[in-house]
């Protein structure tokens, strides 16, 4: 895209309050602003959880109020090929993927960026709560000011070129301030609920949705000793740390306490569960598919890390494992480290990058074996 002096910015308009205020702020700053509404999932809009029609109407109303053009694009084929197919493969492999991270890299900051450039944009903008700044002469991705809404975790898989073409107008604002601005501007969607669920697919009963694409493969649900305590419907339908939907209870000789998913035995098609929450805590992990935002740091690296969105930063050591992989050792055990999810690394408010969790481990347990 073009130089910073150029000022045509196309905003990814979702119909929500964040992208609406992002467009407003850019216009107030003197940029020539357009909107782009992306449809990335082809489905009957009449289904109760499909909000595409309403979201497009909301985006149109905001753009009309701002006096800016709204373009529309359908990236459903790209979403299926580059995000959703990988999402299904990961589930089939027994892992729990995070499609939002991949969606940002492949759709919002690749397909959207290309489309916007073809429309003459110099920059693209989104409503992400994150910041960009030069630190040490290099472009850095920084956390958003609002600690409760910071979304740098979801942007960790981008590359520097993708970030260099982006603008995040909300990074320096609290969410409450964004809603206040939207209310003062008379945006009809100022109180609209934040979207949740799978990126671009929306809120729906996850198990029912997944069954459309992955067959059930029932098997034994066993405790840590290998004793059968129930039946599972298929390993892809469960994730580590899960408590709901296990249908285990009233077992003779067992205490009345919740059961949690502890692990998956893919070879034997067994779901391992536990009534001991402490068993879900591990102080280490191995990660691959690494993406560093800038020059790879020297290892070992002392930093903070998080294994899920909105988790407080956790002090850790990152060490080289083998080519393309690292081990992460946390100062304190972390609950339900889950293969397929992302670990994100930070130096203060700087997002250094991250990787896909491949396995969890216990360094202290290993140390005690050798003592």
Rama region for 191: left / alpha / beta (φ>0; ψ in -120 to 50; rest):
alpha
* Secondary structure of residue 195 in the 3-state scheme: coil
CA distance 371 to 369: 6
Are the beta carbons of 325 and 253 closer than 8 angstroms? no
**Helical (H) or strand (E) element with 351:** strand 350-361
Task: State residue 186 phi and psi, 5-degree precision.
Answer: 75, 20
Catalytic residue among 63, 103, 344, 351: 103
Bond prior to 296 in cis (omega within 30° of 0): no
CA distance 73 to 200: 13
Burial annotation 243-282 (CB, 10 A radius, 16+ → b, else e) = eeebebeeeeeeeeeebbbbbbeeeeebbbbbbeeeebbb
**Which strands make up the sheet holding 70-74, listed edge to edge?**
70-74, 32-39, 8-12, 123-125, 166-167
Other Cβ atoms within 10 Å of 130 Cβ, number: 23
Catalytic residue among 199, 303, 344, 351: 199
Active site residue 63: no
Active site residue 351: no
Which residues are part of the catalytic machinery? 103, 199
């Amino acid at each position: 895209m073009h130089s910073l002096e150029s000022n045509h910015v196309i905003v990814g308009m979702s119909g929500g309050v964040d992208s609406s205020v992002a467009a407003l702020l850019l216009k107030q700053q003197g940029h020539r602003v357009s909107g782009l509404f992306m449809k990335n999932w082809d489905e009957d809009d009449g289904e109760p959880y499909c909000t595409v029609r309403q979201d497009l109407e909301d985006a149109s109303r905001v753009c009309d109020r701002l006096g800016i053009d709204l373009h529309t694009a359908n990236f459903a084929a790209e979403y299926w090929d580059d995000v959703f197919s990988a999402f299904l493969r990961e589930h089939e492999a027994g892992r729990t993927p995070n499609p939002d991270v991949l969606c940002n890299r492949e759709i919002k900051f690749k397909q959207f960026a290309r489309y916007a450039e073809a429309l003459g944009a110099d920059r693209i903008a989104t409503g992400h709560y994150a910041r960009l700044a030069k630190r040490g002469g290099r472009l850095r991705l920084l956390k958003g000011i609002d600690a409760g809404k910071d979304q740098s975790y979801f942007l960790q898989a981008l590359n520097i070129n993708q970030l260099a073409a982006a603008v995040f107008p909300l990074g320096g604002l609290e969410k409450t301030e964004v809603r206040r601005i939207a209310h003062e501007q008379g945006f009809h969607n100022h109180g609209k609920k934040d979207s949740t669920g799978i990126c671009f697919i929306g809120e729906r009963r996850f198990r029912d949705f997944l069954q459309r694409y992955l067959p059930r493969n029932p098997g034994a649900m066993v405790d840590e000793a290998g004793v059968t305590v129930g039946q599972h419907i298929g390993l892809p339908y469960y994730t580590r740390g899960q408590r709901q939907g296990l249908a285990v209870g009233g077992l003779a000789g067992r205490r009345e306490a919740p059961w949690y998913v502890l692990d998956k035995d893919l070879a034997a098609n067994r779901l391992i569960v536990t009534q001991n929450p402490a068993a879900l805590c591990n102080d280490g992990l191995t990660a691959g598919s690494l993406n560093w935002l800038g020059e790879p740091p020297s290892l070992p690296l002392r930093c903070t890390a998080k294994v899920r969105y909105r988790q407080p930063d956790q002090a850790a050591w990152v060490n080289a494992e083998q080519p393309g992989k690292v081990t992460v050792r946390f100062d304190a055990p972390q609950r339900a480290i889950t293969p397929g999810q992302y670990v994100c690394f930070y130096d203060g408010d700087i997002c250094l990058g991250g990787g896909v969790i491949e396995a969890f481990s216990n360094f202290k347990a290993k140390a005690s074996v050798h003592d």
